Amino acid sequence: MHDRDLPEELALPLATGEPWWYWSGGRPAVDFVNTHRERWRRGVETLVTPEDLATWLVRAGVMEASAPVTQKVLAQAIDLREAIDALLVGAIEGGAAAPTEAITLIDDWLVFAGVRPQLVADPGGVPLLTERAASDSPRRALGTIALDAATMLGTDQRSRIRICASETCSGRFFDRSPAGRRRWCSMRTCGNEAKARRHRQRQRQSV
């Protein structure tokens, strides 16, 4: 699914964004950015409610089970998402310095992605020092997304970040192709549409 799949008669703002999520980003941080649909036109928010965010984090694989999300955490998550996108777009465009406030905001979330020790009792009742699960809270899950973004944006991996070349899609994606020349968020949708459009143009020109 891509931006063109949103119906024209869509009632905005959405009551819930769950039916409109898509997973063409190639990594959690990019899929997270893509929860803001149609950035090229209507700007459709799909993380509408705290429940949306809780469900999305599970679907994205950064939480094992849904946990309560507050309105404050939802607002902070959207701020994180837009900071990631600001650096993502900056990496694609190149040249200008990345916005410092976006770097700082992502960095602030990295503390939640760090190791968190946990003391538990083993089956025999003996205290055992272990690490808490990586997805034990929404903030921890968002910290994991921030770490994924930092790994992508703060290293040479940033050269693999793309925005779909389709005129009717603003989907972001991480190019994992061997040659690094992928142009479409999905060849099955946007890529095929572009091929069909070029074919129709050639037919018109040959008439």
* CATH number, domain containing residue 99: 1.10.3300.10
pLDDT value for 194: 57
Strands 44-45 and 36-37 turn out to be: antiparallel
Task: Give how many domains the chain has, as a whole number.
Answer: 1
Each residue of 151-186: pLDDT tens digit? 999 999 999 999 999 888 889 999 999 999 999 888
Mean pLDDT confidence for 195-206: 60
Each residue of 59-83: pLDDT tens digit? 999 998 999 999 999 999 999 999 9
CA distances for 179 relative to 115, 160, 166, angstroms: 35, 10, 20
**DSSP string across the chain:** --GGGS-TT--SS-S--GGG----SSSHHHHHHTTEE-TTTT-EE---SHHHHHHHHHHTTS-SS-----HHHHHHHHHHHHHHHHHHHHHHH-SSPPPHHHHHHHHHHGGGGS--EEEEE-TTS-EEEEE--TTSSHHHHHHHHHHHHHHHHSSGGGGGEEE---TT---EEE--STTS----S-IIIIIHHHHHHHHHHHHHHH-
pTM score: 0.85
pLDDT value for 98: 87
Mean pLDDT confidence for 181-205: 70
Q: Which domain holds residue 33?
A: 3-206
